[in-house]
Structure 1
Amino acid sequence: MKRTSNPLLRSKTALYFLCVAAGISVFAPACKKDDKESSAPAVSQAEVAAAVNTAVTNGGVVAQTEQAAQTASMYIATRKAAKVTTDDCGYSDNGEIKFATEPNTVPYLSINYTYDFQLKCDANKNFQAFHFDFGGKTVYTDKKMSVADTSTANFDITGLSDDSKPWVFNQTFKNRAGLVSKDASTQSFYSVIDYTAADVTVSKSTLQIVSGTAKLKISGTNAAGKSFSYEGQIVYKGNKKAVFTVTGGSSFDLTWN
């Protein structure tokens, strides 16, 4: 099938993403790690939570989810407004999303993503799902730390019919990051996050995450070469809030703008 492109869809989507990305959340670790204690873990739970927060909120999972929801919403709305009757099954498009706050601002955020999406249909040519692939990198800096990461993500969005109230997301997300500490509240370390979420719901009116749960694993090494590994889950609470809980450990609030 010949690939088509919708310039209006792409330009409005990119503009929306700039608005989403401009809201930067900052996470303050709840406690300090005492490197002098031989029994202390290589990286503390609070430090791991800081890495998870950055990967999820600052241009990460949340922003990509909202971007995908906006793209799907605009495509459906554009199709209806134009009273399209042709078969759109297999329609695909792609784009590049770039954003950066002003240089030397604190906090600073830079995002550079590419994305592809495709409309999938069932055997009767009814809209079934949008499939999204994201890939790119972000840089985030505040007074406490500087984080540079790369990530890839795959999203399947269902709930396309008019009688379905929310969008429903099934997601995988992989993030590799290097965190460089700027003060004593946290240490420098490298991390890899594997994130999997099923049935995350997103409002079709606000394009915000309403509910859902994600499981994740995070592992890596600190500056001294000592390894760490944790598992946990994120529960989305709506109203731009979530809770990250380390398995067998502490819970940490995640928020974004």
Structure 2
Amino acid sequence: MTGSAPKGAARKKAASSASRDDGAGKPSPISTSRRELVENELYEHATRLFAERGFAGTSLQDIADALGITRPALYYYVKSKDELLAKLVTEVTDGPLDELGGLVARTDLDPVQKLRGIVEIVVGRRVTQPERFRLLIRSEAELPAELTAAYDESRKAVLKTIAGVLDEGIHAGRFRPVESRVAALGVLGMCNWVAWWFHPGGRDSPEAVIDQLAEMAVGALQRADGHVPEGEGPAAAVKMLRQDIDHLERILDL
């Protein structure tokens, strides 16, 4: 085909020009864009090779060959396998945590809307990059100590964020009185499991999966329609409980 360069040549051109700047010491928009394209493809190839051969069985030369550039050119983007794995882990763990933090800080959303948003964020990540999450789980034993510690802290932060939203909803009477940590683990497990059964391009669209799982999470924890306290706090909860007891007594003719 005329007028287009092979992909390998395009990658080499991007690698060689990515370090150019605009004359003022800042990367030009073109070089920045090219760098992002190469980095995205680099992560995809690294994820695939790590999954196929294992972290220890994959070399930087293997990744450079798959990307279609030389090993010296690869060093412009990553200095070692450990650094590459660290970038992948950070992207998988810190990315959703940043989004979740912004979501739960919003004052215009009630707990039900926040829970729905949490599921949409986490599942959205899993359906777009399932291989990266699977790689993270499979590589846990090979992570450096400092990276393992950061990963553990990130997981705890995500769990705490979800549990906090559930506590907020329970206190407001929007969610059933459940153990928030257990419920948060259940929601997170449902979201993460998507990475193992969802296949991009398959029969289920990402949007349909995200919507259905968000509905399931809310449906499992939300109180029945019309059965919410009139206000917040213990007094409102006691009033609702009395209404339930009155209803039960009428049913039993007590």
Whether the TM-score (by the shorter chain) exceeds 0.5 is no
Which structure carries more relative contact order (alpha carbon 8 Å, separation 6+)? Answer: 2
How high is the TM-score relative to the length of structure 2?
A: 0.22
Higher-strand-fraction structure? 1
More helix by share: 2
